[in-house]
Structure 1
Amino acid sequence: MKTLVLALAVLAAPAAAQAPNWTKAQPISITMTDHGFIPRRIAVQQNGLYVLRVTNRSGKGHNLTQKAFFANARIARQDRGWVRDGQIVLDSGRRATVHLQAPATRRGGTYEFSSTTLADADDDYKGVFVIR
C-alpha cells in the first residue's frame, strides 16, 4: 500500500518539480563591450530552456542586472553562484554560463536590463529580454 501511495504522489507531482532537460536548451550569447551589450534585444519563450553565455570583452568590469527576470527564472543549481542579487558580475575578460528556464511572464512582457557599474550609467549600457 505504501508503494502505491508513493507512486501516486510521484505521478501527481507538478512538472516544475522535475529537473529540466538542459540538453534541449537553446544558446543565448551576450557580449559586454566598452560601449554596451551585444545584442541589446533578447527574445525568449515563456518557460523556454536556455544556456545564457555572458562574456565581458571590455577593458573593465561590468554587470548584467535584471532582478525581476532572474527572480522569476529558474536557474540551474550548478549555475546559481553566477547570479547574485539579480545580476551577473564579470571582471574584464571573464565569462559566465547560466542554464535557465525563462519566466512564465505573459507574452510581450519585457525585462529591461543594464549594467549598474558606476561609469556605465552615462553610457548606453542597456538591453531588454522580451517574452514571446
Structure 2
Amino acid sequence: MRTIRSAFSGWFGFGGETGQDPPPNWKQAMSVLLALHPTVMILNLTLSPALRVAHLPGDLALFVGNVVSVALLTWLLMPLVNRIFASWLLPGRAVSVSTSVAGALAMVLCSVLSAAAFGVITG
C-alpha cells in the first residue's frame, strides 16, 4: 500500500527523491496549468484539424487529444516545469515569503504571457 500525498503526485516526484514533502497543492495546480494551457492550445491548433480531416468521431478525437496531452505533460513538460521552478516548488527551498511570492508571480506572468500569445495567434 502507498499513500498518495498530493493532488498531482505523479508529476511531482520531489518527495520520493529527496525525502521532502511534495509542493503544496496550490503550487502544483499553478504548475500544471502553466504546462497544460499551451499544450491544449497547440494540440487544438495542430492535432484537432488533422483528426477532423481523418474523419474521426468527436469522442475518439477527444480521447486521442487527451492521450497526447497527458503523454506530453508526463514525459516532457512537467519535468521541464519542475526543473525550472524547483527552487519555488520544493518546500524546503522556498522558505522565505519573498521567494514564495516571486515564484507565484513568475507563474502568473508566464501564464498571462502564454494566454496573450495564443490570443494573438487565434484572434
The structure richer in helix per residue is 2
The structure richer in strand per residue is 1
The question of a shared fold, defined as TM-score above 0.5 by the shorter chain, is answered with no
Structure-2-length-normalised TM-score: 0.25
Q: Which has the higher contact order (CA 8 A, sep 6+)?
A: 2
